[in-house]
Structure 1
Amino acid sequence: MDDDQRYRAVHGRDSRFDGMFYIAVRTTGIYCRPSCPARTPKRENVVFHPTAAAAQEAGFRACKRCRPETTPGSPEWNIRADVVGRAMRLIQDGAVDRGGVGALADAIGYSERQLNRLLTGELGAGPLALARTERARTARTLVETTDMPMTDIAFASGFSSVRQFNETMRAVFDRAPGEMRGCRTARGGSGTITLRLAYREPIDLERALGFLGTRAVPGIEEYRDGVYRRTLPLPHGPGTVELSAGPGHAVCRLRLTDTRDLTGAVRRCRRLLDLDADPQAVTEVFAADALLGPLAARFPGLRSPGHTDPAELAVRAVLGQQISVAAARTLAGRLVEGYGTPLAPALRTGGLTHLFPTPDVLAALDPEGLPMPRRRAATLVGLNDAIASGRVDLGPGCDRDATEHRLLELPGIGPWTAAYVRMRGLGDPDVFLGTDLGVRKALTGTPDDKTWSPWRSYATHLLWASL
């Protein structure tokens, strides 16, 4: 889009572009989301920024009326496979907070100087500023929706000190954290942090939760009465999450060993439910298609669920080769019971008892002792050895093409398995599982799936839903 197109979107208060760009008003020093209900400023008084961080770096403060920092993330980062897209996924996952800009640059394979130049040139802000915006967004949510002490919020959000937390909140929101607390609408209790996760309408959240529930593995997942629960392996210790549908948002209840993992846990939950998707953009691509057009109208807001742990997803993809979903669940449950890490009593809730076995644990197993065909057991052990050694990178900043290529090099990993890992484990919105049995049953011919790009993962899910 050029600036004139952006201004027309702002004039029409088009919410589809919330989170994709921001409008800043020179005369007020405020930046807003495109759908802000305030009077549209004159064209000569506005400037557009690709990210909230860029607007903040230019000296603008967040609008108190439309609260631009609460918009869903841009779906652009799910689509893009270039260095900037990979870096943004890592920053949103908390990579800068955990290891600094140096660790982020190493993960991407660039120098700090190169990475800073790339991000500043395209997004108007460097990695530190982008991470600062993520921290401020998380902190405001915690201030307004929980009773956590301010000191705990500061460190849970990724700030290195309470002073830095206070200064950032004043600079970004023009208010001290204590002044925001009066807006509190929900509370965390008994060690639980309750958050509201935003998304773009429409959304079929019940179907997404049901999709996960159908595949729930005993011990690490359960789905009951519309609530999906699962365990989370996180950098500073395990956690658990409960996800359900709320009025206009997804309800997320987290129990964490260390609150420093909050940002990463929320990002994993957003990927799991595909909350940053742009359903209207998907529908526009499918509308003219004779097969998918009616399905998109029949299932509005269908999501492409991801996963909280790509390594676990990869193992489960191998287990599911040529067997039913129920049989794959049973096999995965046996692995959890035999080799998973038990949860601490304080984290146990419902039927959650374990973390899924880690790649290094599964890599050390004897294939002969696993309850599955010998060749598949060897594939499972070899896959985990490749993940544990780093030969296969499944992190949020990985190069998806390179990862898929390395998966296909492993014995027993075929195109369906590699593509399934790419679609759900790596969150790629443009994967079509054309060889999948369910997809083939739903197809009435041989489609040109390239015309469905960049949303072919949603085409896969629509075809599954049609069955």
Structure 2
Amino acid sequence: MRLPNLAYVYKTVEQIKQLLDLHAAPELIEKSLLAAGLPENLLTKGLRLPGTWTVFESGCRAIVGQQVSVKAAINQAGLLAQHLGAVITEEPVEPNQHYCFPEPEAVANSDLAFLRMPNARKHALRNFAVLFCNGNQPTYDEILSIKGVGQWTLDYLKMRGDRDPDVYLAGDLIIRKMAEKYPVLPQEAAPWQSYLTLQLWQLSNS
């Protein structure tokens, strides 16, 4: 980590701790997942809730990830960074270019022609970015009022961007399928329902 000013060290380290969910309480979380009905042998030990650097980034990732595979969503988010994000040029120079996630203004003022998605979703992404321009932090109601942004998108933003530990993505297709395979009582996992969401996603890959 290279910082131009040591005054930013503490804030940056704390942000990284939150990004990697280093303040999680694994034993309490596991007890809640067991209470929700998951067998102990299926639990992923030390499960963490991966965050994003900003709420804006998590919202963009949620919108570009609507109704597509995880791989496609990652590719779309990568295109956003490559086309609209600043290139990292500090030494040492890496063999491949690296990019910062774009600022809201860059997304709001782009036609997003490079993204492979329906125009309606591009409009939703731009309108979402507009809400964050000039340092604004919109309310959940303002975000939900955007055409093309539904409860799944908002809940994903809460879970990944706001790092809310108690979000169960009931509207997620994979979660619904896994909840049928492994019947659970999500409310019994409170206040750690986000980890139940993650655990069911994990089980879908096993």
Two-structure CA RMSD over aligned residues (Å):
2.2
Percent identity between the two aligned chains: 33
| TM-superposed deviation, 1:423 | 0.3
Q: Taking structure 2 as the reference length, what is the TM-score of the superposition?
A: 0.88
Gaps of 5+ in 2: none
Partner Cα separation in structure 2 for residue 389 and residue 258 of structure 1: 24
Question: Does structure 2 conserve the Cα–Cα contact (< 8 Å) formed by 1:392 and 1:407?
Answer: no
Is residue 104 of structure 2 the alignment partner of residue 359 of structure 1?
yes
Partner Cα separation in structure 2 for residue 314 and residue 347 of structure 1: 31
Q: 1:367 to 1:454 in 2, by over 3 A?
A: same
Partner Cα separation in structure 2 for residue 364 and residue 372 of structure 1: 17
Equivalent position of 2:83 in the other structure: 338
Partner Cα separation in structure 1 for residue 74 and residue 130 of structure 2: 22
SS in 2 for 1:256: coil
Equivalent position of 1:328 in the other structure: 73
Equivalent residue in structure 1 for 2:120, among 375, 380, 394: 375
Q: 1:380 to 1:292 in 2, by over 3 A?
A: farther
Partner Cα separation in structure 2 for residue 255 and residue 347 of structure 1: 11
Q: 1:317 to 1:292 in 2, by over 3 A?
A: farther
Partner Cα separation in structure 2 for residue 424 and residue 314 of structure 1: 9
SS in 2 for 1:444: helix
Q: Taking structure 1 as the reference length, what is the TM-score of the superposition?
A: 0.41
Question: Does structure 2 conserve the Cα–Cα contact (< 8 Å) formed by 1:311 and 1:387?
Answer: yes
Can you list the C-alpha shifts for 1:182-227, whole angstroms capped at 9, x where unaligned? xxxxxxxxxxxxxxxxxxxxxxxxxxxxxxxxxxxxxxxxxxxxxx
Q: 1:339 to 1:367 in 2, by over 3 A?
A: closer
Partner Cα separation in structure 2 for residue 330 and residue 291 of structure 1: 32
Partner Cα separation in structure 2 for residue 319 and residue 348 of structure 1: 30
SS in 1 for 2:2: strand
Equivalent position of 1:424 in the other structure: 160
Can you list the C-alpha shifts for 1:320-342, whole angstroms capped at 9, x where unaligned? 11111211222222222221111
Question: Does structure 1 conserve the Cα–Cα contact (< 8 Å) formed by 2:64 and 2:73?
Answer: yes
Equivalent residue in structure 2 for 1:311, among 53, 56, 74: 56
Question: Does structure 1 conserve the Cα–Cα contact (< 8 Å) formed by 2:124 and 2:147?
Answer: yes
Partner Cα separation in structure 1 for residue 133 and residue 103 of structure 2: 8
Question: Does structure 2 conserve the Cα–Cα contact (< 8 Å) formed by 1:282 and 1:455?
Answer: yes
Equivalent position of 1:220 in the other structure: none
Equivalent residue in structure 1 for 2:24, among 270, 277, 283: 277
Q: 1:260 to 1:379 in 2, by over 3 A?
A: same
**Rg bigger for which structure?**
1
Partner Cα separation in structure 1 for residue 97 and residue 157 of structure 2: 24
* Structure 1 runs, 4 residues or longer, greater than 6 Å off: none
User: 1:33-72 residue pairs with structure 2 within 5 A?
Assistant: none
Gaps of 5+ in 1: 1-253, 394-402
Equivalent residue in structure 1 for 2:7, among 252, 260, 272: 260
Structure having the larger proportion of residues in strand: 1
Question: Does structure 2 conserve the Cα–Cα contact (< 8 Å) formed by 1:343 and 1:353?
Answer: yes
SS in 1 for 2:149: coil
Q: 1:268 to 1:349 in 2, by over 3 A?
A: farther
Question: Does structure 1 conserve the Cα–Cα contact (< 8 Å) formed by 2:152 and 2:169?
Answer: yes
User: 1:63-462 residue pairs with structure 2 within 5 A?
Assistant: 254-291=1-38, 293-296=40-43, 299-346=44-91, 348-349=93-94, 351=96, 353-366=98-111, 370-389=115-134, 392-393=137-138, 403-444=139-180, 447-462=184-199
Partner Cα separation in structure 2 for residue 411 and residue 280 of structure 1: 40
Can you list the C-alpha shifts for 1:277-326, whole angstroms capped at 9, x where unaligned? 11111122233443354433xx2211111122221121111111111121
| TM-superposed deviation, 1:370 | 4.6
SS in 2 for 1:432: coil
Greater relative contact order, per chain length (Cα 8 Å cut-off, separation 6+):
2
Q: What is the aligned length?
A: 203
Partner Cα separation in structure 2 for residue 410 and residue 348 of structure 1: 40
